[in-house]
Amino acid sequence: MQTKQLLIFTRTPLHVGAGSSVGAIDQPVQRERHTGHPIIPGSSIKGVFRDAATQSALDETSIDDTFGPEDSTTKQSAKITRAGNISFTEARVLAFPVRSAKGAFAYVTCPFLMNHFKRLSGKSDLPDIPEIDDQSCLASSGVTFTDKKSVVLEEYRFSHQGPVPNAWTDVFHELITDPVWQTVKQRLVVLADGDFSHFVKSTTEISNHNRIDAQTGTVEDGALFNLECVPAETLFMASIHLIGRKETEIKPKDQPSSRIYTTDSEKIITDLIKNTPLLQFGGSSTTGRGFCSISLA
């Protein structure tokens, strides 16, 4: 089984919803249970890629071999239910944009996510990140007040413990070619895990929405709600596992025999990303949300 790393860079705010909530936010985004970090579920990523494959020139057999056939519970369908030749993990945040008093905004990350990146990417030669105290950080020059040795993010001041190691800024810079991301060497800030969690939980975008009654021209009763979005310029990373299933003959009861064919899933995914480098994830697509650049690390 081969594994590739998928990078998703939001160009517009992203809303992958967790349903309605009784809390302060009516429609929150999906988050990890143990960290509270925003995620894009693997099922959402798979659905977007399958739709992109359907819109391309791929034949139905290749799509079914790669992603698995559509629901075959109906009697009219002769397809056999089986797993596809590729699997997607959830996409986790790798870098998150936060307002900065210097340089407009910074990309913040934390040792937990950097170690997660090392584990998935196999770049074990990257230097270890030193322990970072609360209200302290490692930061690039573009967001650091050098005279006071501090970084100001939102309304918080962080003591500057030193620069981000060059090996890390070089790796981050090379991840994607988006021109906005290319400023990451000057904007990267490494926070303590707890400080990072605070920002991804409290500095997402909240927008108010309503529905107007066509006859009265006023807001309909109960139609006012707020929507949470992950901001533009957020970088997510997910793993794509190429399973490489072997050709197998299946003879289910009362159904015609069929074969699972080995498909070049790696080529299919690579071509999809090359031909459609901009995909839309999550909801509210008609209001411009969820458009993301995608690439393979």
| CA separation for the pair 106, 153 (Å, rounded) | 8
Give percent of the chain above pLDDT 90.
59
pLDDT at 71: 66
pLDDT at 77: 52
The predicted model gives 166-179 an average pLDDT of 95
pLDDT at 258: 53
On the question of pLDDT at 255 being above 60, the answer is: no
Q: Which residue intervals of the chain are DSSP H helices?
A: 42-55, 60-67, 111-121, 166-175, 184-187, 193-202, 265-275
The predicted model gives 5-26 an average pLDDT of 86
- Residue-wise DSSP of 77-93: --PPP---SEEEPPEEE
On the question of pLDDT at 73 being above 80, the answer is: no
pLDDT at 141: 93
pTM of the model: 0.87
| CA separation for the pair 50, 68 (Å, rounded) | 10
pLDDT at 75: 46
Count of all residues that appear for the chain in the document:
297
The predicted model gives 239-263 an average pLDDT of 64
The predicted model gives 23-47 an average pLDDT of 92
The predicted model gives 189-193 an average pLDDT of 98
Amino acid at 48: V
